[in-house]
Amino acid sequence: MNAIRYTGKTLIMKKILIIVSFLLALPVLAQQAPAPQQNKAYTIINGTAHIGNGSVIENAIIVLEDGKITSISSGQATNTTTKGEVIDAAGQHVYPGLVAANTTLGLVEIDAVNASDDQNEIGLFNPHVRSIIAYNAESRVVETMRPNGVLVAQITPRGGRISGKSSVVQMDAWNWEDAAVRIDDGIHVNWPSSFSRSGSWPNYGPIEPSKNYEDQIEELQQFLDKARAYHQVKAPENIDLKLEALKEVLAGNANFYVHVSGEKAVIDVLAFAKANNLTNNLVLIGAEGTQNIAADIAAAGVPILVARVHSLPTREDEDYDMPYKLPKLLADAGVLVGIENSGSMERHQVRNVPFYAGTVAAHGLDMEAALSMVTLNTAKILGIDDQYGSLEEGKSATLFISEGNALDMRTNKLTRAFIDGRDISLDTRQKDLYDRYMEKYSRED
Amino acid sequence: MHMKKILFSLFAIAAITATAQEYFPNNDDISAVSNATRVIANATIVTSPGKQLENASIVIKDGKIVDIGKKVTIPSGALIEDASGAYIYPSFVEAYGDFSMKSPDRSSRGGQQYDEGREGYYWNDHIRPEQNAIDFYSYDSKAAEKMMEAGYGVVQTHLHDGIARGTGMLIALNNNGSDNTRILKDKSGHFYSFDRSRQTNQSYPTSLMGTLALLRQAHFDADWYAGGKAITRDRSLEALNANKNLVQIIEAGDKKNVLRADKLGDRIGKQFVIVGGKDAYEMMDDIVATNAQLILPVDFEDAYDVTNPYLEDFVNLGTMRDWKQGPANPMMLHKSGVKFAITTHGLKTAGDIHVKIEKAIEYGLTKEQALAALTTIPAAMLNASAMIGTLEKGKQANFIVTSGELFEKDTKIYENWVQGSKHVIKDRNVIDADGTYTAQLMGETYSITISGNSKSISVKQDSIKLGSKISRDGDWITITTSQKDATDDSFTRWMARLDADNSALTGKVYLPDGEQQAFTAVKSDAAADKEEEDENEDKDAVVDLGKMTYPNIAFGSESKPVEETVLYKNATVWTNEEQGIVENTDVLVKNGKIEKIGIGLRASGARVIDATGMHLTSGIIDEHSHIAIDQGVNEAGHNSTAEVTIEDVVDHEDINIYRDLAGGVTTSQLLHGSANPIGGRSAIIKLKWGYAPDEMIYDNSPKFIKFALGENVKQSRYQNGIRFPQTRMGVEQVFEDYFTRAQEYEKTRGTDNFRYDEEMEVISEILKGERYVSCHSYVQSEINMMMEVAERYGFVLNTFTHILEGYKLADKMKEHGAGGSTFSDWWAYKYEVNDAIPYNGAIMHSQGVVTAFNSDDAEMSRRLNQEAAKAVKYGGVSEEDAWKFVTLNPAKLLHIDDRTGSIKEGKDADLVLWNTNPLDVTAKAQITMIDGIVFFDIEKDKEMRIAVKNERQQLANEMIKAKNKGLKTQTPKQSTKTLYECNTLHW
């Protein structure tokens, strides 16, 4: 309570201490280097393996070699069944690396600092814009994903009618080229709003069917038509980069992601995709308000990346738990469901993706099925399930070990994690700061 | 055309004559005597609500009633008009409007403006009591005509601009008179509102709570000014004092604002007449308790057009009920004894008042009460009963002559006499030709239906509809019809003169071949029969108001929830006390308190809840919430706004209260935002869903205020900020400055120089340790600064909220005695949270700082149990301690831990029953109880979901029915509330 707390002498002492501790802390503060390539085998034993496809293997023996899972089985480990370093995961749980869809990780460092923001290019139709080249593999935000088990993420541009192309990356890399798992996995369309509010703040008028809605859809249609016509020409005289950029998606080789919400708009999207022969590569993102047409979406075979589970209901009269249970309602109807996290403060929240799945489980879904929504289902939707999303032989050794249920905040405590067999660090600058200050206080004690 | 011109010039002469006064020179003509006595005789006269005289007459002279009654003295030379069959009522009085006001100039100043734009007036440009309506007045005869057609004789008008708006004036709608006679009172009332002036851009106030504080302070200042201590002149304060004895009228708005206006009045010693409360029935007990008179809008909602189900989604159940129940509001207010005048304010045109009142009558308002609300009550409100409001000797001759009883569908207003000057709306001597007639012509039967004051017609020859046109000139009707044979393109013309007894059309038919034939078309009584039927139907129908709940929106309770005696059996109890987490334990709740904790408890009359396998905890407490706030979470107009308080603007109808209950929250501190270093005072509430705002606020609530540091208060996202401070250096000086001023203020207390200043009072409380601070803060430099400033001024900074770098100086916080209420894992959203780490809570806790996790977010607040669980993950806090982060620790920070925050005998029964360990991701609140009252029950919630769906369906059907009946509808509006966070500046 004294105005001046330190005498001159103790102040100098403190200063010296600070300098010393700063020097000590320096090597700790250096950013964690990405792990080198796997150069030895690992065998994880005695853990409970959550495969990602809904099944569980108790007492699992998982062998990792050359970046792959070469074997996964159940049983008592012996010298013959293990290879290389043996990791005893007794009482612990092994999970495939979680896959976060529709994120802007590495595109923005600090929300309020405009200079750090690279997510939204100007222009309405930007299919040529590619997120991958702006992805900052060394983002301080990206490194905080790893200790929670989020090891793979889709990096998606924002804005416009067509935002651009997303890519899928893994979370431990020197640069974006190293990080890339699947480059240009699809283009992203922001579906026009079918209803809009007239007037402006503070005197909003009624909600009305958006006057421009049909025109905006027509505009998109014409853009696609133009691209198709252009693609018919074998060697065009003048190259149109925007139209070129639509080749893969129109040929069905890349995903057609449509960010949309509301029952009416989703029905329109389904019809639009059908008319454009894009149903097979259509993915809905967001899709709030679709609980009553889940069966139709399932019948069309269209998967959904459902909006952030930790959200408020969109209407006053809606069930308080609607955002919590929507993924289950859709899955029960047969829709292939993944979970996404776009919205306010979206980047740092990506590390909470496992807990979204946990919350869905709290509202009625089987815990393993909930896990699939952030692993195998999402991997399937993003087209990376040949390598990622589940603990299966032949797939990438991208997995982690947690002390407890990884979908629960209390027990999501990672002890080891691997990306493509690389034994990655779970340290972050945040952990360094924790250590630094715990060290400070331990000296005071 | 010619006739019209003559008529017009006649009116003009009349007007000039009327204007001339006896001592005015006249150069137009020789002097005319125009003060003849007039008599309207043999009418049914309603002299005042409930008093009706049959066959009575009214005698008027010089604009006043000289006699009225069944027997009147008629002087010789009087002009007598027979009005037998007609009704006479006092003309209506409109107490609230902006009739004949010139709109003031909008401020042309752009950008931010913090200082006043005027000299010689109050420091705030929105306080304009010195405005006098008469200075903005220019008689608008067209507008007057519209009001007269609706039945109005006198209106009170004022300039609708500003928070204090100045005086209104009382005007008689006498288009034949002049301002010499029309203006009944130059200053008839003094006006206030909650709306900013358009004549200025001055920033303060940006919120409703700021508006309320401003009105309070302006009146404190006026009292001080009246003492003559001011050394400068202030015309606004002078006007506030000068207008003190006029009726004080405030435009408030909805029911909550009516209550706020009355509370404001209590504080500044005024009983306001309050404009608003069209949803008053939803908080009737509170409205009654104000004892305030209302000027009541009747702009009942039209049905929403919900034929498109997707549009229906945008209409909340509460909004649907507004439509269903709103018209019953006047009836319910009357039954509850609230005195109200009815106003046209809010209606598109004054003429709509009749439809609205008929609707209110259909919903149970008596005709007598409706008339009183339009005549005697407003007249009395304006202290003008001696002149207007009833028809009595000596009063102004302001009355309407109608075709029948008022507030009946078919009743027409013939004339509106104002100050003895007759204004004809519909000539009562013109024969009403509307009706259905039957004529026989050359063996064929024609059926002729005339409607709309002889403007529309349809003609049938037998059952074939003919093309037809009608025109009317005086008593002459001309009809043109086509032929039965559609290929025949010739026309038949009918000419008839109306009979005086209005029973038939008699005249000639001009056939296409040039032949003429006489015809008589006899009027049938069909229309009358039908009317009678309708009336019978109406009388039998009791208007069903549907379901009303507390609050009256989705998920409200059908009765106000009440306290129960409850015995939780066999639960795992998280006591938050020394015993820790105990299994297989019973907890008895009685009289709102935790009565007993033990094993094998019994209690007669208790509701027993089998909690086997479940966990019972004390309720979650959110130290930092912005839900349930009306019209602005920030008062951003000044860098210090200690004078404002969230307690003024608690919104008890925010659905997020219910959602929080479903997440196990029982107490929230509703904090002011972070727009300024010294923010406003908090409201600490219990989430008693269904109770009124004042019932939610803690009794003897600990006093709290918000401070804020860093990026928000220095306006770091503004391009060119002009408000001090713009740096952290300046932030410190804001505190230094205000604390110094508060110390100096204290020295003046009790002296002649003392000027009561609410802001200084509040800051003084902080310095005296009577009010705690919750300080929005992020980086260590500013946290250090704040503690040092507090120490210099001798108080303890109670809570640092957000405090994301608290881990860097937890030792200093501990030493100072500050607590930390932080986010579990938020970061990266702005520069000052770059060093935020999710271990923050664990580190602060490890150093002995009282640590809490808060939400600052309506989404997060409903799953703070999950946030607490993150303290287990990040930094390894024990489950028991982590749980305290959202229960006991925030209770300690809020100084309510003697009442809540743990399960201890004698404490408030604020309890949550969970299906499992509350920190488990699968935990769901089953029952949430506050003070022994169950406010959330997951089983009841299931029932309510179904009920909400069914009721929506039913009301949507009724709206579609209304539309199909041809009633007016409106496009659905989405009534979503702004979700506030710390830095939300708009509302």
In the structure encoding, which two tokens stand for residue B874, read together? 């990040």
- Residues paired with residue B82 on neighbouring β-strands, in sequence order: B41
Per the domain annotation, does A111 fall within a domain?
A: yes
- pLDDT higher than 50, residue B543: yes
**What is the arithmetic mean of pLDDT over A185-194?**
96
User: Do residues B927 and B936 touch, judged by C-beta distance below 8 A?
Assistant: yes
- pLDDT higher than 80, residue B682: yes
CA distance A59 to B774: 51
- The per-residue pLDDT for A23 is 46
Q: pLDDT tens digit string along B247-290?
A: 999 999 999 999 999 999 999 999 999 999 999 999 999 999 99
Q: A231 to chain B, minimum CA–CA distance in Å?
A: 38
- Compare CB distances from B837 to A194, A209, A433 and report the shortest one's residue: A433
Q: Is A132 helix (H, G, I), strand (E, B) or coil?
A: helix
- The per-residue pLDDT for B1 is 43
Pick the CATH number of B93-388 from 3.50.50.60, 3.20.20.140, 3.30.450.20, 3.20.20.60: 3.20.20.140
CA B404 to chain CA centroid, Å, is 35
Q: pLDDT tens digit string along B745-797?
A: 999 999 998 999 999 999 999 999 999 999 999 999 999 999 999 999 999 99
Residues 6 or more apart in contact with residue B680 via CB below 8 angstroms? B209, B635, B641, B642, B643, B644, B645, B646, B672, B705, B706
Among chain A residues, the shortest Cα distance to B878 is held by A410
Q: A440 to chain B, minimum CA–CA distance in Å?
A: 9
**E-assigned strand segments in A221-297:** 255-260, 282-286
- The per-residue pLDDT for A275 is 98
- Do A163 and A296 lie in one domain? The reply is yes
CA distance B961 to B953: 12
Give the pLDDT band (50/70/90) at residue B13: very low
Per the domain annotation, does A383 fall within a domain?
A: yes
Tokens 């003392």: give the residue: B754
**E-assigned strand segments in B557-605:** 566-574, 581-590, 593-598
Per the domain annotation, does A58 fall within a domain?
A: yes
Residues of B in contact with A146 (CB under 8 A): none
Per the domain annotation, does A319 fall within a domain?
A: yes
What is the rounded average pLDDT for all residues in chain A? 92
- pLDDT higher than 90, residue B484: no
Residues of B in contact with A315 (CB under 8 A): 313-314, 316, 976
- Do A357 and A222 lie in one domain? The reply is yes
The pair phi, psi for residue B497, each rounded to 5°, is -110, 135
User: Do residues B657 and B928 touch, judged by C-beta distance below 8 A?
Assistant: no
Q: pLDDT tens digit string along A86-95?
A: 999 999 999 9
Q: Are strands A85-88 and A42-50 parallel, antiparallel or unpaired?
A: parallel
- The per-residue pLDDT for B10 is 41
Q: Which of B208, B921, B948, B955 to mutate to test the interface with A (most CBs of A within 10 A)?
A: B921
The pair phi, psi for residue B563, each rounded to 5°, is -70, 145
Q: Which domain holds residue A71?
A: 36-97+390-424
Q: B830 to chain A, minimum CA–CA distance in Å?
A: 5
Q: Which of A194, A320, A411 to mutate to test the interface with B (most CBs of B within 10 A)?
A: A320
- The per-residue pLDDT for B533 is 47
In chain B, where the domains are located: 1-34, 93-388, 440-537, 564-619+901-931, 620-900
Residue B97 DSSP label: -
- The per-residue pLDDT for B290 is 97
- Do A187 and A53 lie in one domain? The reply is no
Q: A383 to chain B, minimum CA–CA distance in Å?
A: 29
- pLDDT higher than 90, residue B954: yes
- pLDDT higher than 70, residue B424: yes
- The per-residue pLDDT for A204 is 66
- Do A261 and A170 lie in one domain? The reply is yes
Asked if B919 lies within 8 A of A409 by C-beta distance, the reply is yes
Give the pLDDT band (50/70/90) at residue B513: confident
**What is the arithmetic mean of pLDDT over B730-735?**
98
- The per-residue pLDDT for B526 is 53
Q: pLDDT tens digit string along B240-249?
A: 999 999 999 9
- pLDDT higher than 90, residue B95: yes
- Compare CB distances from A111 to B716, B825, B829 and report the shortest one's residue: B829
- The per-residue pLDDT for B973 is 72
- pLDDT higher than 80, residue B530: no
Q: Which of A139, A339, A409, A434 to mutate to test the interface with B (most CBs of B within 10 A)?
A: A409
Asked if B835 lies within 8 A of A433 by C-beta distance, the reply is yes
CA distance B836 to B959: 53
CA distance B826 to B837: 8
CATH at residue A59 = 2.30.40.10
CA distance A241 to B874: 47
User: Do residues B141 and B122 touch, judged by C-beta distance below 8 A?
Assistant: no
Per the domain annotation, does A297 fall within a domain?
A: yes
- Amino acid identity for residue A431 in this structure: K
**What is the arithmetic mean of pLDDT over B151-170?**
98
User: Do residues A326 and A306 touch, judged by C-beta distance below 8 A?
Assistant: yes
**What is the arithmetic mean of pLDDT over A199-217?**
78
Q: Is B71 left (phi over 0), alpha (psi -120 to 50) or beta?
A: beta
Residues of A in contact with B810 (CB under 8 A): 437, 441
CATH superfamily, domain at B620-900: Metal-dependent hydrolases (3.20.20.140)
- pLDDT higher than 80, residue A3: no
- Do A159 and A84 lie in one domain? The reply is no
CA distance B198 to B193: 13
A27 vs A389: which has the higher pLDDT? A389
**What is the arithmetic mean of pLDDT over B844-871?**
97
DSSP result, A27-58: HHHSPPPPPPPP-S-EEEEEEEEE-SSS-EEE
Residues of A in contact with B314 (CB under 8 A): 195, 207, 315
Residues of A in contact with B979 (CB under 8 A): 312
- Compare CB distances from B873 to A109, A315, A410 and report the shortest one's residue: A410
Q: A114 to chain B, minimum CA–CA distance in Å?
A: 10
Q: E strand or H helix at B549, and its extent?
A: none
Residues of B in contact with A289 (CB under 8 A): 313
- Would you tell me which residues 106-135 of chain A have a C-beta closer than 8 angstroms to some C-beta of chain B? 109-113
Number of domains in chain A: 2
Give the pLDDT band (50/70/90) at residue A203: low
CA distance B834 to A147: 18
Residues of A in contact with B311 (CB under 8 A): 195, 207, 209
- Amino acid identity for residue B640 in this structure: S
Among chain A residues, the shortest Cα distance to B971 is held by A206
- Do A148 and A282 lie in one domain? The reply is yes
- Residues paired with residue B18 on neighbouring β-strands, in sequence order: none
Tokens 């408890």: give the residue: B601
Residues of A in contact with B828 (CB under 8 A): 109-111, 140-141, 345, 347-348
CA distance B757 to B766: 15
User: Do residues A160 and A124 touch, judged by C-beta distance below 8 A?
Assistant: yes
- Would you tell me which residues 339-368 of chain A have a C-beta closer than 8 angstroms to some C-beta of chain B? 345, 347-348, 351-352, 355, 358-359, 361-363
Q: How many CA atoms lie within 13 A of B442 on its CB side?
A: 8
Residues of B in contact with A313 (CB under 8 A): 659
Q: Is B89 helix (H, G, I), strand (E, B) or coil?
A: strand
- pLDDT higher than 90, residue A332: yes
- Compare CB distances from A408 to B658, B711, B921 and report the shortest one's residue: B921
CA distance A94 to A88: 11
Taking alpha carbons only, the member of B65, B92, B242 closest to residue B156 is B92
Q: pLDDT tens digit string along B795-852?
A: 999 999 999 999 999 999 999 999 999 999 999 999 999 999 999 999 999 999 999 9
B1 vs B556: which has the higher pLDDT? B556
Residues 6 or more apart in contact with residue A30 via CB below 8 angstroms? none
- SS3 sequence, B362-400? HCCCCHHHHHHHHCHHHHHHCCCCCCCCCCCCCCECCEE
Residues of A in contact with B970 (CB under 8 A): 206
CA distance B103 to B479: 48
Residue B18 DSSP label: H
**What is the arithmetic mean of pLDDT over B880-893?**
98
- pLDDT higher than 80, residue B353: yes
Q: pLDDT tens digit string along A33-51?
A: 999 999 999 999 999 999 9
Residues in chain A: 445
**What is the arithmetic mean of pLDDT over B395-403?**
97
- The per-residue pLDDT for A7 is 43
CA distance A265 to A281: 18
Q: Is B392 left (phi over 0), alpha (psi -120 to 50) or beta?
A: beta
User: Do residues B956 and B936 touch, judged by C-beta distance below 8 A?
Assistant: no
- The per-residue pLDDT for B987 is 52
- Do A58 and A172 lie in one domain? The reply is no
- Do A57 and A162 lie in one domain? The reply is no
Q: Are strands B516-523 and B851-853 parallel, antiparallel or unpaired?
A: unpaired
Q: E strand or H helix at B155, and its extent?
A: strand B152-157
Q: Is A233 helix (H, G, I), strand (E, B) or coil?
A: coil
Residue B562's Cβ-count burial label (10 Å; 0-12, 13-18, 19+) is: exposed
- pLDDT higher than 60, residue B947: yes
Asked if B843 lies within 8 A of A413 by C-beta distance, the reply is no
Q: pLDDT tens digit string along B709-722?
A: 999 999 988 888 89
Residues 6 or more apart in contact with residue B394 via CB below 8 angstroms? B64, B65
- The per-residue pLDDT for B541 is 59
In the structure encoding, which two tokens stand for residue B964, read together? 């199909």
User: Do residues A184 and A156 touch, judged by C-beta distance below 8 A?
Assistant: no
Q: Is B874 helix (H, G, I), strand (E, B) or coil?
A: coil
Residues 6 or more apart in contact with residue B234 via CB below 8 angstroms? B120, B121, B122, B221, B225
Residues of A in contact with B919 (CB under 8 A): 409-410
- The per-residue pLDDT for B505 is 85
B684 vs B441: which has the higher pLDDT? B684
CB-based contact, A22 to chain B, within 8 Å: no
Tokens 């024990």: give the residue: B878
Topology agreement, domain B93-388 and domain B620-900: yes
Residues of B in contact with A213 (CB under 8 A): none
**What is the arithmetic mean of pLDDT over A17-45?**
71
Asked if B972 lies within 8 A of A207 by C-beta distance, the reply is yes
- Do A74 and A111 lie in one domain? The reply is no
What is the rounded average pLDDT for all residues in chain B? 93
Alpha helices in B27-140 (DSSP H): none
- Do A128 and A213 lie in one domain? The reply is yes
- The per-residue pLDDT for B551 is 98
- Would you tell me which residues 385-444 of chain A have a C-beta closer than 8 angstroms to some C-beta of chain B? 405, 407-413, 430-431, 433-434, 437-438, 441, 444
- Do A182 and A255 lie in one domain? The reply is yes
- Do A52 and A128 lie in one domain? The reply is no
Taking alpha carbons only, the member of B942, B956, B983, B976 closest to residue B306 is B956
CA distance B454 to B470: 7
In the structure encoding, which two tokens stand for residue B135, read together? 């200075």
Q: pLDDT tens digit string along B958-981?
A: 999 999 988 888 888 766 566 777
CA distance B889 to B844: 12
Percent of chain B, pLDDT > 70? 94
CATH superfamily, domain at B564-619+901-931: Urease, subunit C, domain 1 (2.30.40.10)
Q: A434 to chain B, minimum CA–CA distance in Å?
A: 6
CATH at residue A205 = 3.20.20.140
